[in-house]
Each structure stands twice: as structure tokens, then as C-alpha cells.
Amino acid sequence: MKKFIFVSGGVCSSLGKGVAASSLGALLEGRGLNVRMVKCDPYINVDAGTMSPYQHGEVYVTDDGAETDLDLGNYARFTSGRLSAANSITTGQVYESVIKKEREGRYLGRCVQVIPHITDEIKSRILAAAREDPDTDVVIVEIGGTVGDIESIPFLEAARQLIHESGRDNALSAHLTLIPEVAGGELKTKPTQHSVKAMQEQGIQPDVLICRAPVILDEDTRRKIALFTNIESDAVFTSYDVDTTIYEVPLVFFEQKLDQVVLKKLGVESRHADLKPWYSMMERFASRKGKVRIGIVGKYMDLHDAYKSIYEALFHASLECMVEVELVKIDSARLEEADDPGAVLGPEASGGGVDGILVPGGFGQRGINGMVQAAAWARRNGTPYFGICLGMQIMVIEWGRNVLRWKDADSTEFNPDTKYPVVSLLVDQIDVKDYGGTMRLGKSVSVAEPGTHILAAYNEKNISERHRHRYEFANRYRKEMAESGLRIAALTPDGSLVECVEWPDHPWGLGVQFHPEFKSKPTAASPLFRDFIAAVRDRKRAVIPVSERCV
């Protein structure tokens, strides 16, 4: 019998529901259970693929090419259960399929309604995700939004029905709320009481309460909350603010016995907890020495979530390389305004410049020339450079313009009339007019060439990573690019597409057409992020006199 945990939130948004749900997933995996994480998003978009990174943060891509909410990235970083299109359920998808069935006459003339038709569709999608992997023991369903939102009601009703149908031993509700601190340092429980009442009005009695608070709640406060919410006081937990990293949250919960209480409520016999990878990750966190500054040269710099997986992967690499990484966010348009990119990137810049440059993925023309300038500067100065998707295309454009002297070399995405379209559309993409889910998406294999940095990083010729792009390195320039020295470091297995380029005679200048950030974990960094940070660290240490080195 599969077990279900429904994670909801109250009081306000941005309390860290995704991190709380994922941390619980990590603890249950630590107890040897197979966990599947599902996100229910109340928005009406069918998927996150067409949403602006400015509005909604990054689009997280799964192996099977689903363009999903960035919360799935949290699941991937904390847990190891399968992630596919089935892990992401949106109101848009639910209505799309109900309306399709209605048009096909599959409701046999009945009036189609939110209850039961929409709620049944939600339930059947949750159950399908639970069934997809026969080994799944526990399904953790995170319900987006805040209790009381109009849009969340059908999802909460579906959760209520599933809890009822599964029986209290097989399903539970975990509710996350805020305990604010008012002037004078007093912690207030009233919003939490109201939030649980709002859940009860939906017909759901939370079994477990996770309170987001500045400090761990004392016994009296927990007892008071328990009394007013009908929850046992040993099932009231605190997600207190940690000053280390969000990846400590599983351990914060473990120390409060969250997993033990949950397993008991679900009737799963307690097993040995193995959290070694999490504890050793925290040891590495504490042993980091020295710091490197990484310039992220992109266009969505104002919203941290727009490059969430990239920033997290850099942090994972910092743990593995045991050096702190400081993110220096540089809007590429700013580089276009500067006469000399060195004034923004080099040692004379405020903060002392950057030790490495990462150009992440992106769409559209704005700021492209600034990225090309950053790449040129890194190539000429021997500064480690990591290009991801658009960042690899930038390397190709820069090489065309500055090494081959093709002045207007460009991608046809930015200049359709260029004389040198060194990055262009695949033939099968030329007529695409529909922007939802039509890119090269999801997992595929790249084959690394011998003697390359990419092969050294993965230590494996066949590399499986995920794609999300429309444009490609243009094959008609492959020969000239390679003959002039640009290393074609990985190809698709049939040799038809370039997947990685590297700069010759450079400490570490590499661009990949895929997105390695999606598979990086705090307990196992992406090999390319790890080697990039290692190259930055080693170069920095080598140029600092030994007597002044931190390590």
C-alpha cells in the first residue's frame, strides 16, 4: 500500500514549503523508503515553459522533457525519486484534459463540474504519479499556494478525498505556517491557529504542523499550538531560520524526530536512519577555506530564482571543492555600456573583479554583445569560463567574430540576416510557430572526445544531460571552427550535433549545449560545475604567493 503525505501551506507564501516537503522526502529516503515528490500548481498555465523567468523564476526540465515549476528542482536536489512530467500537475493541465474529454463526449451528456470532474482528474493524476514507479513507497504531494486561495480549493478537496479514501494510516496532512515575531521579540501563534482553521474548513485536519519561526519553539508554545489546532504536541515542529544553508533543514527536522512521527502515523515500522551524506555535506560546508568570485553574466539578474539551479549547482561545487563561492551578478547589458569589460570584470573593478565567469542560458537579443565581451575577456585573460546552453553559443559567436574575424558572426536568433550564422535553427525548427513545448527538450546522450575537459569531468564517454533550446552550433562552420583551434569536445552519438566546445591553450574554457545544473545535488555536485570551480580555485591559489594562501 502506497502512503501519501499532502503538504500545504498557510498564513503567507514563500515560507519554504518546497524545502520543507523535500527535506521530509530526504529523511524518508534516509530511512530506506522510495519517495516520489509531486507538485500541484494552481496556476492556469499548462506548464511553466512559457512563463517569463522574471515572473516565475527558472523553468526546471525533467529527463522526459517536461518544462516544470522550479520546485521540482528542489525535489531533485534533496531526493532521488523519479522526476517526470507526472510529477507536475497544474490547473491548466487538469482543465485541458477535462475539456478535451468533454468535447469527445466522454462524460455522456452529464454536466461537467469542479466537483467531481476536476477533483477526479486531479486525483487520477496523483494516483498515476504514484503508480508510475512500482517501487514507490511514499508520495509527497506539495500543494502550491496558500490555504484560502480560490485557486487551491480543488486541489485541497482532492487531497481531502484521497486522505479519506486511503484511510488515516496511509495518508496524512502536513501543514506549514508562519510564527511571526512582533516587536519585543514575542512569537505569535494566532496566524497559525487561523491557518489550521482554514484547513479544517476545507475538511482537512492537519496531522503534522511545521512552523516557520526565527527560533525553535519551546515546549509551552508547542503545547499551546497543539491545544488550539487539534494536533498532538509531539507533531508540532519548527522550521527555524538556519544561518548555514537550506540543506541543513533535513537535519533540523531529523533532530526534532519529524520522520519518526510521520512514519508512526503512517504505520511504517521504524528503520535505521542513514543520513551520512547529509552530515558529511555539512562537514564540507564548515571546512571551506578561502573564497572565489564567480561572475554570472546574464540578463535576468534581478530575480534570484531566474537562475536558481545554476546558483545551487555553484554552491554544490563549492562544497565539493571546499572553497566559498561568492556570486557576482552582472547584467550583461552593463558590459555593453562599458568601454572595457576589464573595468567590470578585472581586478580594477569594485570588489576586486571576478575569478571565473559563467554565462547561463537565456533567450532573446538583449545583452548578447555584453556576454560576447565577457567571453572574449575570459578567453584572452585565461580566466576560467563556463558557458551553459546560450553560454556555449556565445563562445561560438565570440570565436567567429574575434578569431576567424567574421565581424557579424551571430546566431540567427539575434540577427537573422547575418553573413555568418554560426548558430542557427535546426531545419525541423524553422517553421515552429507554437512556443509551448516545441524546443529540443529533455534527456539525451552526448559523447565526449578523448583528451577533453568534459571527459575528465565526467570520467565517462557517454554523458546523459538535459536540453532546452532551439538553436544549434551550425555544422557548416564546424570545419573552419575546428581548424582554427576551437575544440569540438562532445557530439551527439550520431555525430550530427555539437554538444560541447572548449578553448585551446586555456586553463578551463568550456561550453555545453545542455543544462548540467538540473542534475546537481548538494551531496553530489555536477561534474562540470565541480571542475569549473576547482579550476577557478587552483588558478587563484597559484597566482597568490604561497605565504598568503588560505589553505
Least CB distance from residue 274 to ligand GLN, whole Å?
Answer: 37
**Residue closer to ligand GLN, measured from CB, 56 or 212:** 56
Residue 361 in contact with ligand GLN, rule: CB under 6 A: yes
Single residue of 471, 477, 514, 529 touching ligand GLN by CB under 6 A = 471
For residues 481 and 396, the answer to whether their CB atoms sit within 8 Å is yes
Q: Active-site residue 515, yes or no?
A: yes
Question: How far is the C-alpha of 337 from the C-alpha of 353, rounded, in Å?
Answer: 17
SS3 content of the chain, % helix, strand, coil (to 5): 40, 20, 35
Please name the residues in contact with 540: beta carbons below 8 A apart, sequence gap of 6 or more: 290, 292, 355
Residue the block writes with cell 525553535:
216
**Residue closer to ligand GLN, measured from CB, 18 or 387:** 387
Least CB distance from residue 530 to ligand GLN, whole Å?
Answer: 21
Region binding ligand GLN by CB under 6 A among candidate stretches 31-39, 150-158, 465-473, 501-509: 465-473
**Residue closer to ligand GLN, measured from CB, 10 or 361:** 361
* 3-class SS of residue 85: helix
Residue 57 in contact with ligand GLN, rule: CB under 6 A: no
**Residue closer to ligand GLN, measured from CB, 468 or 539:** 468
Residue 203: CB atoms within 10 A of its CB come to: 13
Single residue of 469, 487, 530, 537 touching ligand GLN by CB under 6 A = 469
Q: What is the DSSP letter of 269?
A: P
Residue 502 in contact with ligand GLN, rule: CB under 6 A: no
* 3-class SS of residue 532: helix
**Residue closer to ligand GLN, measured from CB, 371 or 534:** 371
Single residue of 159, 323, 344, 389 touching ligand GLN by CB under 6 A = 389
According to DSSP, the residues that pair with 7 across neighbouring strands are 142, 174
Question: How far is the C-alpha of 549 from the C-alpha of 545, rounded, in Å?
Answer: 7
Region binding ligand GLN by CB under 6 A among candidate stretches 77-85, 272-280, 344-352, 467-475: 467-475
Residue 81 in contact with ligand GLN, rule: CB under 6 A: no
Catalytic site residue from 175, 389, 500, 502: 389
How many chain residues bind ligand GLN (CB under 6 A)? Answer: 10
According to DSSP, the residues that pair with 437 across neighbouring strands are none
Residue 465 in contact with ligand GLN, rule: CB under 6 A: no
Least CB distance from residue 469 to ligand GLN, whole Å?
Answer: 3
**Residue closer to ligand GLN, measured from CB, 117 or 468:** 468
Residue 396 in contact with ligand GLN, rule: CB under 6 A: no
Residue 43 in contact with ligand GLN, rule: CB under 6 A: no
Question: How far is the C-alpha of 548 from the C-alpha of 64, rounded, in Å?
Answer: 49
Single residue of 33, 138, 390, 404 touching ligand GLN by CB under 6 A = 390
Region binding ligand GLN by CB under 6 A among candidate stretches 309-317, 357-365, 399-407, 537-545: 357-365
Residue 107 in contact with ligand GLN, rule: CB under 6 A: no
For residues 379 and 501, the answer to whether their CB atoms sit within 8 Å is no
According to DSSP, the residues that pair with 60 across neighbouring strands are 68
Least CB distance from residue 436 to ligand GLN, whole Å?
Answer: 14
Sort strands 291-298 and 356-359 into parallel, antiparallel or unpaired: parallel
Question: How far is the C-alpha of 182 from the C-alpha of 322, rounded, in Å?
Answer: 38
Q: What is the DSSP letter of 548?
A: G
Residue nearest to ligand GLN (CB): 361
**Residue closer to ligand GLN, measured from CB, 316 or 468:** 468
For residues 10 and 199, the answer to whether their CB atoms sit within 8 Å is yes
Question: How far is the C-alpha of 89 from the C-alpha of 141, rounded, in Å?
Answer: 10
**Residue closer to ligand GLN, measured from CB, 359 or 376:** 359
Residue 180: CB atoms within 10 A of its CB come to: 17
Burial of 51 (0-12, 13-18, 19+ CB in 10 A): middle
Return the residues of window 412-431 that contact ligand GLN according to CB under 6 A: 413
Least CB distance from residue 24 to ligand GLN, whole Å?
Answer: 31
Single residue of 212, 470, 530, 540 touching ligand GLN by CB under 6 A = 470
Q: What is the DSSP letter of 83?
A: -
Question: Which amino acid is located at 459 in the chain?
Answer: N
Catalytic site residue from 117, 175, 453, 515: 515
Residue 299 in contact with ligand GLN, rule: CB under 6 A: no
For the chain, what is the radius of gyration of the CA atoms? 25
- Tell me how far the alpha carbon of residue 319 is from its chain's centroid: 17
Query: Which parts of this chain interact with ligand GLN (CB under 6 A)?
Result: 361-363, 389-390, 413, 468-471
Known catalytic residues?
389, 515, 517
